Amino acid sequence: MSKSAGIIVIGNEILSGKTKDENSPYLTRELRDLGVDVRKISVIPDELNLISDEVKQFSSSYDYVFTTGGVGPTHDDLTMDGIAAAFGRRTQRHPELESTLRQYYSRDLLDGNLRMADVPDGARFVGGKGMWFPVIAVENVYIFPGVPEILRRKFERIKEMFREAPFHLREIYLRADEGQIAAILHHVLADFPDLMLGSYPYFDNPVYSIKLTLESKDASYLDRAHQRLISELGKARLSPIKNP
């Protein structure tokens, strides 16, 4: 079985349309490449109770939870408090993080930024030495900032700890209508119930109108399903397009 993951995007700016969410698409792609199955993405506002409830639910539902946003020093940065509440904990000022901030910020900027040293009780640091500000984790929840550039640098440092057996992929391109292939797909899935099968229509592509994707962590299983689908399409006189 694949390890599962949920992503929680926190921020009023995402829900208001002021800022585009770049983090969940990035994390989804990276986690898929690592063999982790992302099961749900949630976007919620900067509200303490909502953060707490969502984190609690995600933590009990998925192997890994990744949060983005709400970890700065301002009034609406409530992620740490929300995660602490989700696990029945309090936040406390961590001396190592405080020391890091004192070294980084000048004296006139320090007081306003020290709040970033407040983390839930029992939080652990992930990422090893050499990281200016480590990834903070509580239970199975990994806490990331909302700034895409910083999130990506942090995730790159720790991503190998999530690596699983990879997903194998096959793609089939067709000139057809989805209605023509619906019954075929149902029949293939009846014989290969663990196959992840996707059908995606295209309306402005001059070469193909449907892309089918077949995925499995079992390469042999995937090959058999792929061969079966090609055979069924052939019976319906639908030939895959090569090198679209």
Whole-number Å distance between alpha carbons of 78 and 101 = 19
Amino acid symbol at 139? E
Amino acid 202: pLDDT:
96
For residue 129, is pLDDT > 70? no
- Of 142 and 99, the structure prediction assigns the larger pLDDT to 142
For residue 130, is pLDDT > 70? no
For residue 49, is pLDDT > 90? yes
Tokens of 37: 């199955």
List the one residue out of 45, 49, 43, 5 whose CA is nearest residue 22. Answer: 43
Amino acid 128: pLDDT:
65
Domains of the chain (ranges, CATH numbers): 4-162 (3.40.980.10), 169-235 (3.30.70.100)
Residue 68 backbone phi and psi in degrees, to 5: -130, 135
Residue spans of beta strands (DSSP E) within 106-175: 118-120, 124-126, 135-138, 141-144, 168-174
